[in-house]
Chains A and B, each alone.
Chain A
Amino acid sequence: MDFYLATLVQGLCFSGVALGIFISMKIFNIPDITTGGSYTLGGAVTGMMLTHNHSAYTVLLVVIVAGAISGAITGVIHTKLKINALLAGIIVMTGLYSINLTVMGRSNIPLNNIPTLFSLINISSNPNQNTFLVLLLFVLLLTLIIGYLLKTDFGISMRATGSSETMIRALGVNTDAMKIIGLAIANALTAVSGYLITQSQGYADINMGVSIVIVGLGSVVIAEVFINWLHITSIWLSLSLALLGAIAFEFAVAVTLDLGVDATLLQLVTAIFVLLIVGLPRLSFKTSS
């Protein structure tokens, strides 16, 4: 596949993670590490079910439910047992590793010649372009749904929960329930990313979620730089920026590899890249003020 198209496809696949982290981190102010586990869970369920001849649509529903449940568990641990969100996420992510391995039955499931979402829908005769177009439509639809949700009365309550808990409780919202639902939505989106990437790369792997949190964080941080810089308040623009962040992030990584950086150092490069995006604005802030 063409280098740039492949990167673009990868970036689009990660849009679920970007939207998920946007919801957990930007809207609820909760650093959610469940992401690594729920992403792999999405991939594991996809790999297992597709090889058992289930249709890609049925698989999508199961993936959403599975992701939502894992997020809700983190939410319950965090709100009801009053355990730090980071720790709650780590607990669930650790537990999910075994669940994922059980679902898959082995550490890697290849999807050779098995019909996927990208072969079910035919827009273009070129399979690579077809994958890209299907993904684009899928991501567009996903963003429309989430964007609409955040505009509704329920969505405003969600955003207020992350902004001022005292206020929204006084206005009749059960903030614990709201956080549990929010984390469920975030992890359902993350699992959808696992679903997409498994079908696009043609296999599910038990270790696919290792650095996924950083991808989501990187995307949202890139988006945040622009949101703060341009004083963006529109939900649609913020969500779009998170998606563009995911694509930009993938391009940055791909270009680094293309420049001849050893693939062994990929994670280090990714980490430093995120550190740079997060750190640079603060450094320049200090010298100017």
Chain B
Amino acid sequence: MIDIKQAHKIFNKGKANQVNAINGVDLHIDSKEFVVIVGSNGSGKTTLLNLVAGSVLPSSGSISIDGNDVTKLPDYKRSEWIARVFQNPLSGTASDLSILDNFRLAAIRTKVKGLSVGINEQFKKQVKDKIATLGMGLENKLEQPMGTLSGGQRQALTLLMSVMDTCQVLLLDEPTAALDPHSAKVVMETADKLIKDFNLTAILITHNLKDAFTYGTRIIQMGEGKILKDMPSEKEAALKQNDLFDWFG
């Protein structure tokens, strides 16, 4: 599904503050794989995710998604395949817009945003039913601005929004980092359920080793812009949580 070949990303090339964020990464991710990426700060996890999403373009190397070469494609054109959940709950939803408006945009992620009014009673009902599955009581607050909701609620809604339109790849960049433990649990469980229900290919970045251990079918450790360890699903089962802690030793 995702193929990264010899990817390099250098920021501020040739200047005193040059950073080699990604140093030759080769990575193949199969369809329906749920990859968890761990690694210390500055190891290149987020840059790697941004390379897949297209918000950062590689200095060299190539990236393809579902057989299409997307190396030079900007992020807004990759939305055809990719949905994203950001670390900051404010980034994944528009505060000034109502919940309904946010969902409308998510429902036409892969389509042209045209000059017709897309929000009708049928659409409202569809969104309402979807939001009701979260059990957060938000289904009766569709007209409320997103900005009035808590970070946990917004992350959960962002997740739901990602499957409003056809979605193949879900990118999760530390989605629970800004949340309290309870909200974090709800968001991770929702993510896991959606990934299974919709047969998504997913990449999750996390600093929470318990999540890394609990979720996913493959675990990757990054360091200094390279992939240090890559454990496929069958080995991950044998992996002990303590081994993960040792990785950071």
Chain A residues at the B interface, C-beta cutoff of 8 Å:
148-149, 151-154, 156-157, 159-160, 162-164, 166-175, 233
18 contacts across the A-B interface (CB closer than 8 A): A151-B119, A153-B105, A153-B117, A153-B118, A154-B113, A154-B114, A156-B104, A157-B105, A163-B94, A166-B91, A167-B91, A168-B94, A168-B105, A170-B53, A170-B75, A170-B84, A174-B74, A233-B143
A156–B101 Cα gap in the complex (Å)? Answer: 7
Task: Kindly list the 3 A-B residue pairs having the minimum CB-CB distance in the complex, ordered from nearest.
Answer: A172-B79, A163-B94, A163-B96
B113→A153 contact, CB < 8 A: yes
Chain B proximity of A27: nearest CB distance (Å): 9
Chain A proximity of B205: nearest CB distance (Å): 15
A157–B114 Cα gap in the complex (Å)? Answer: 10
Report if B204 contacts A (CB, 8 A). Answer: no
Chain A proximity of B103: nearest CB distance (Å): 10
B contact residues around A168 at 8 Å (CB): 94, 105
A164–B145 Cα gap in the complex (Å)? Answer: 13
B53→A172 contact, CB < 8 A: no
Chain A proximity of B183: nearest CB distance (Å): 19
A156→B84 contact, CB < 8 A: no
Known: A153-B114, A154-B113, A170-B53. A164 touches B95 (CB 8 A): yes
A contact residues around B98 at 8 Å (CB): 233
Bits for B82-124, please: 1 = Cβ < 8 Å to A, else 0: 1110100011111111100110111011110111111100000
Tell me the nearest residue of chain A to B105, going by C-beta.
Answer: A171
B contact residues around A166 at 8 Å (CB): 55, 86, 91-92
A171→B109 contact, CB < 8 A: yes
A164→B105 contact, CB < 8 A: no
| Best-surrounded residue of A149, A169, A175 (most CB of chain B within 10 A) | A169
Q: Give me 17 other A-B pairs in contact (C-beta within 8 A), A170-B92, A172-B110 excluded.
A: A152-B117, A153-B108, A153-B113, A153-B114, A156-B97, A159-B101, A160-B94, A160-B102, A162-B96, A169-B79, A170-B82, A170-B83, A171-B108, A172-B80, A173-B76, A173-B113, A174-B76
Chain A proximity of B94: nearest CB distance (Å): 4
B contact residues around A169 at 8 Å (CB): 55, 75-76, 79
A169–B106 Cα gap in the complex (Å)? Answer: 11
B94→A159 contact, CB < 8 A: yes
Interface residue count on the B side (C-beta < 8 Å): 39
Report if B207 contacts A (CB, 8 A). Answer: no
Chain B proximity of A152: nearest CB distance (Å): 5
Report if B185 contacts A (CB, 8 A). Answer: no
Chain A proximity of B203: nearest CB distance (Å): 14
A contact residues around B115 at 8 Å (CB): 149, 152-154
A170→B105 contact, CB < 8 A: no
A151–B94 Cα gap in the complex (Å)? Answer: 15
A contact residues around B114 at 8 Å (CB): 152-154
A248–B205 Cα gap in the complex (Å)? Answer: 53
Report if B125 contacts A (CB, 8 A). Answer: no
A170→B79 contact, CB < 8 A: yes
A contact residues around B76 at 8 Å (CB): 169-175
B contact residues around A167 at 8 Å (CB): 86, 91-94
A contact residues around B94 at 8 Å (CB): 159-160, 163-164, 167-168
A7–B127 Cα gap in the complex (Å)? Answer: 47
A163–B117 Cα gap in the complex (Å)? Answer: 20
Report if B72 contacts A (CB, 8 A). Answer: no
A149–B113 Cα gap in the complex (Å)? Answer: 12
A contact residues around B55 at 8 Å (CB): 166, 169
A contact residues around B101 at 8 Å (CB): 156, 159-160
A173–B143 Cα gap in the complex (Å)? Answer: 23
Report if B77 contacts A (CB, 8 A). Answer: yes
Cβ 8 A contact of B79, one of A154, A156, A171:
A171
Chain B proximity of A184: nearest CB distance (Å): 15
A170–B94 Cα gap in the complex (Å)? Answer: 12
A163–B86 Cα gap in the complex (Å)? Answer: 15
Tell me the nearest residue of chain B to A234, going by C-beta.
Answer: B143
Tell me the nearest residue of chain B to A165, going by C-beta.
Answer: B91
Tell me the nearest residue of chain A to B158, going by C-beta.
Answer: A167
